[in-house]
Every structure is written in structure tokens, then in C-alpha cells.
Amino acid sequence: GENVEQHPSTLSVQEGDSAVIKCTYSDSASNYFPWYKQELGKRPQLIIDIRSNVGEKKDQRIAVTLNKTAKHFSLHITETQPEDSAVYFCAARTFGNEKLTFGTGTRLTIIP
């Protein structure tokens, strides 16, 4: 089955700086890669996703890049703010398979 690895497990960034979280996946048939943000005790919230037919997607301060050849994708947050502090999970899904496999999570802390 699919295996998703995520790094780093923790990340501290000065407010205003950029944060980058990286994930790798094992199944070359995976074609959908969402990113979720989870605040303490709350549900994961989808923040951005990308499909395998594009290499990059951007939504304001958040961007995701995908390298299908290397089987890795990354989340980029620019101009970080204190409210960006949370745990971020990457995930991967294979076409035709309903299941979403999650990475191990990254605890992002924005230092004011």
C-alpha cells in the first residue's frame, strides 16, 4: 500500500519568514495530494490540494509543489503569522482507491 513520509516533525519559524514542509510517497499511481491543518483538539481542515497533472498550485500565502518523478511534494507558507501555528498533515490518494494515506505530521510554531 501507499506510504507517506513527512519532514520535519517540528518546525519553528520567525513570524514573517517562510516555512516549508516536505513529503514523499511510495506509490507512483498516487494522483491526489492534499494538505490539512489541524489545531489542537480540532478537526483537520483542508488548506490546499494538488493533482498529479500540475506541478504547482498557489493560494495566497500557501503553495504546494509536486515532483512526480521524485515522488515528493512540498507545502510552502510565506509571510508566516502566529495563526499559522498548528500541525500540518500531507496525504496521498491513488486514483480509483478511496483511501487517503496521511503523513506523520509537522508541528509548526510561529515565533512572534
Instruction: Assign 3-class secondary structure to the chain.
Output: CCCEEEECCEEEEECCCCEEEEEEECCCCEEEEEEEEECCCCCCEEEEEEECCCCEEEECCEEEEEECCCCEEEEEECCCCHHHCEEEEEEEEECCCCCCEECCCEEEEEEC
- Shortest reach from residue 16's CB to other proteins, in Å: 27
- Shortest reach from residue 92's CB to other proteins, in Å: 12
How many residues touch other proteins under the rule CB under 8 A: the total is 20
Selected binder of other proteins within 24, 75, 94, 103 (CB under 8 A): 103
Asked if 30 interacts with other proteins (CB under 8 A), we say no
Within 37-66, the residues that bind other proteins by CB under 8 A are 41-46, 49
- Shortest reach from residue 7's CB to other proteins, in Å: 13
Asked if 99 interacts with other proteins (CB under 8 A), we say yes
Q: Which residue has the cell 510561529?
A: 110
Asked if 98 interacts with other proteins (CB under 8 A), we say yes
Residues forming the site for other proteins (CB under 8 A): 32, 34, 36, 41-46, 49, 89, 98-105, 107
